[in-house]
Amino acid sequence: MRIAIIGIGQSLRGDDAAGLTAVRQWQEKFPETASRPEVRVEASELPGLALINLIADFDVAILVDAVQSNAAPGTIHRIGEKDLSAFSSDAKSAHGWGVAETLTLSRQLNQKLPAIRIIGIEAAQMVMGAGMSEAIEEAIPLACEAIEQEIKSLL
Amino acid sequence: MNNIEVSALARVEGEGGLYIGLENGKAVEIRLDIYEPPRFFEGFLQDRFLQEVPDITARICGICPVAYQMSSAFALENALDIKISPQARALRRLMYCGEYIESHALHIYMLQAPDLLGKESVFEVAAIAPDVVTNALRLKKIGNEILKTIGGRSVHPVNVCVGGFYQWPDAAPLKALLPDLEWGLQSALDCVKWAVTLPYPDLEVDYEFVALHHPDEYAVIEGEVWSSKGHKVSIADYETRYIEEHVKHSNALHGHTVDGNTYLVGPLARLNLNYEQLLPRAKQALVENKISLPIKNPYKSLIARAVELVQFYKEAIELVKAYKPEGPAHVELKLKAGEGTGATEAPRGLLYHRYKIDDNGMIQFAKITPPTAQNLPRIEADLFALAPQIVSMDEDKATRTAEHLVRAYDPCISCATHFLKLKVEEK
């Protein structure tokens, strides 16, 4: 079983850094899991359409990203691909190809894709600049636990 | 009909809106509102060491990072009076091929084709023509693979430095791309065939086309700045004829000739000015598909991009086959104070850089003129030319036709937003 763990988001856009930060901290906290040969870790600020290429050769892809729904900031969502539409962005620019749009297009074209698991961290703000909200900082250890549990359940 | 207002343009890179003000069925005001925040790259390049510049300027754009690396590297090499080796020059062209391929495949299929097929987005195109979109994704991916093989990653590649490259990429992974490149060439030829069958809106404009010209090759990385009105200036003299100014509604500067005229850079300008330098296979594609030049319809820049896809797939194949790294990958730098200019043809058009450096190679001054800033006044002028046609359309169709025109330019608003001066007037 080959597993890709992909942290997604923009490090200079407030809480959008949550996915990248969580994957980095999980790597430091659980080095044994992170260095297993069947596990591949990637940090990708804005993968856009290239997300497909990042995950194509794996059996499972765990995507860790900031999300915005109506939950309390810092809430950890463990969701599947089907639940994504509730979180999809409405950005239509070439820079704004979101995860949901890219996966939808790939499915539509019958491309081979791994099983997708998503760990979403509810964001409070995505304003310009570095630094996350306090509630999100506090939620990062929980997100690390969620990543570890998810992988453990697969291996 | 009411005024046409599109608050956020879709399928362009960056953030901008469109406003067409109408009075008695006539367009009286047209604005491409560029509200994407300014980026200040020219400001924060100051007091940086020159070798940092190519990797910083690459960050201006995720779709054309190579263009920013190349223009800055050539400008700084000129400032130091150094010339890169022929092998490094060939590798820079190959890297540029990768960028043209990924950028043009994205624009042709994902950004402009939905307009021509009357669809909202590429998802709807995928529903009626899944093969076209599958091929498009593969065409684009191959371009990104070239960048990754030479520059370590498919977006914002590294490895280009002032003086050449930090290191030669291994030959084997490059040669392994050949089967994909051969497939891409065939697919690009099919793309031209398909491009000429699409229903383009009617619009003919008497443009002043401006592009680099090189006597021996389809100009991308060096040459003279040629205009279809017969003006020829060296890259060093670019600013004696082409200037930028600030306008109120745009965080991107607007380019003009010194005579105050608009001009057009990009694929139409290149193809119309440089078709004689196309590789035989690309020239043949023009003949086979009965494409006559010059093309003066901005919507048909898609055809020019398709022809360039053939050109750059073919050139990539030749360059990969010939690739044989020998000698040092970069020349040693001897630092001295000076000034240098560089211009290359980004996928969206001519990209000019000028730098001043001190004795220690620290940047004292930087000027970057991106293609979209040069084209913005031209897009607005085209919208005026289009206005008599669209005022008789229903509002929805009029809006789509105007938006399509803007998208046909493939504007990169993120690249174009930069201020030189901020002037605050108190009333």
Closest CA to B225 of B235, B217, B240: B235
**Chain-centre distance for alpha carbon B180:** 24
Model pLDDT for residues B318-361, shown as the tens digit of each residue? 999 999 999 999 999 999 999 999 999 999 999 999 999 999 99
Give the distance from residue B14's alpha carbon to the nearest chain A alpha carbon, in angstroms: 7
State the pLDDT at residue B25. Answer: 75
Least Cα separation, residue B384 to chain A (angstroms): 25
Q: Show which residues on chain A lie within 8 Å of chain B, measured between beta carbons.
A: 46, 48-50, 52-53, 92-95, 101, 104-105, 108-111, 128
User: Can you tell me the mean pLDDT for B107-133?
Assistant: 90
CB within 8 Å of B307: residues ≥ 6 apart: B192, B271, B278, B282, B285, B286, B291
pLDDT at B415: 64
Residue of chain B whose Cα is closest to the Cα of A47: B155
Single-letter residue type at B393: M
φ/ψ of A127, rounded to 5, equals -80, 165
Contact in structure between B349 and B265 (CB atoms under 8 Å):
yes
Cα–Cα–Cα angle for B314, B174, B86, rounded to 5 degrees: 70
**Which tokens hold the place of B63?**
């779709």
Angle, vertex CA B141, rays to CA B137 and CA B145, nearest 5? 175
pLDDT in tens, B266-288: 999 999 999 999 999 999 999 99
Q: If we measure between CA atoms, which residue out of B47, B92, B48 comes closest to residue B330?
A: B92
Q: Look-up: residue for tokens 């970057």?
A: B368
pLDDT above 90: percentage of residues in chain B = 70
Predicted pLDDT of residue B248: 79
Tokens 């790294």 label which residue?
A: B325
Q: Are B410 and B348 in contact (CB under 8 A)?
A: yes
Quick check: B422 pLDDT over 50?
A: no
CA B169 to chain centre: 25
- B37 vs A contacts (CB less than 8 Å): 128
Quick one: average pLDDT of B191-209? Answer: 96
Is a pLDDT exceeding 70 seen at residue B311?
A: yes
**Interatomic CA distance for residues B90 and B109, integer angstroms:** 28
- Going by pLDDT thresholds of 50, 70 and 90, the confidence category of residue B416 is low
DSSP A9: S
Nearest CA in chain A to B61: A95
Contact A108 B62 (CB under 8 A): no
Q: Does B46 touch chain A (CB under 8 A)?
A: no
CATH class, domain A3-154, is: alpha beta
In this structure, the strands spanning A60-67 and B210-213 are: unpaired
Is A95–B123 a contact, with Cβ atoms under 8 angstroms apart? Answer: no
* Phi, psi values for residue A114, rounded to 5°: -75, 170
Of B330 and A49, the structure prediction assigns the larger pLDDT to: B330
Q: How far apart are CA B140 and CA B155, in angstroms?
A: 12
What is the b/e burial string over B398-408, where b = at least 16 CB atoms within 10 angstroms of the residue's CB? bbbbbbbbbbb
Residue type, B151: G
Q: Residue A102 CB: number of other CB atoms within 10 A?
A: 17
Mapping DSSP onto H, E and C, the string for chain B reads CCCEEECCCCCCECCCEEEEEEECCEEEEEEEEECCCCCCHHHHCCCCEHHHHHHHHHHHCCCCHHHHHHHHHHHHHHHCCCCCCHHHHHHHHHHHHHHHHHHHHHHHHHHHHHHHCCCCCHHHHHHHCHHHHHHHHHHHHHHHHHHHHHHCCCCCCCCEECCEECCCCCHHHHHCCHHHHHHHHHHHHHHHHHHCCCCCCCCCCCCCEEEEEECCECCCCCCEEEECCCCEEEHHHHHHHEEEECCCCECECEEEECCCCCCECCHHHHHHHHHHHCCHHHHHHHHHCCCCCCCCCHHHHHHHHHHHHHHHHHHHHHHHHHCCCCCCCECCCCCCCEEEEEEEEECCEEEEEEEEECCCCEEEEEEEECHHHHHHHHHHHHHHHHHHHHCCCCHHHHHHHHHHHHHHCCCEHHHHECCCCCCCCCC
Cis peptide upstream of residue B294 (ω within 30 degrees of 0)? yes
Asked if residue B222 has pLDDT above 80, the reply is yes
Partners of B18 in the β-ladder? B6, B32
| Chain B: closest CA distance from residue A9 (Å) | 15
With CA atoms as reference, report the closest residue to B178 among B153, B138, B142, B133: B142
Query: How far out from the chain centre does Cα B38 lie?
Result: 19
Q: What is the pLDDT at residue B123? A: 85
Alpha carbons within 13 A on the beta-carbon side of A127: 5
Interface subset of B 144-173, CB within 8 angstroms of A? 144, 154-155
Token match 């010059």: residue?
B294
Give yes or no for residue A74 having a pLDDT over 50.
yes
Question: How much is the ipTM here?
Answer: 0.79
pLDDT of residue B36: 73
Interface test with B, best of A105, A106, A128 (most B CBs within 10 A): A105
Alpha carbons within 13 angstroms on the beta-carbon side of residue B264 total: 28
CB B15 within 8 A of CB B376: no
> Mean of the pLDDT values across residues B164-183?
98
Nearest 5°: CA angle at A28, between A125 and A65?
30
How many Cβ contacts (< 8 angstroms) between chains A and B?
Answer: 53
List the single residue in B13, B37, B127 with the smallest CB-CB distance to A95: B13
Lowest mean pLDDT among B90-104, B137-151, B324-338, B389-403: B389-403
Asked if the C-beta of B121 comes within 8 angstroms of chain A's C-beta atoms, the answer is: yes
pLDDT tier at A93 (50, 70, 90 boundaries)?
very low
What is the distance between the alpha carbons of residues B115 and B18, in angstroms, rounded to a whole number? Answer: 17
CB within 8 Å: B63 and A108: no
Measured between beta carbons, which residues in chain A are less than 8 angstroms from residue B123? 101, 104-105, 108
CB-CB under 8 Å, A94 with B11: yes
Which stretches of chain A are DSSP H helices?
A: 18-29, 31-34, 51-55, 99-108, 134-154
Name the region of A131 (left: φ>0; alpha: ψ -120 to 50; beta: rest). left
B287 φ, ψ (degrees, to nearest 5): -65, -50
Instruction: To the nearest 10°, report the CA torsion of B268, B270, B272, B278.
Output: -120
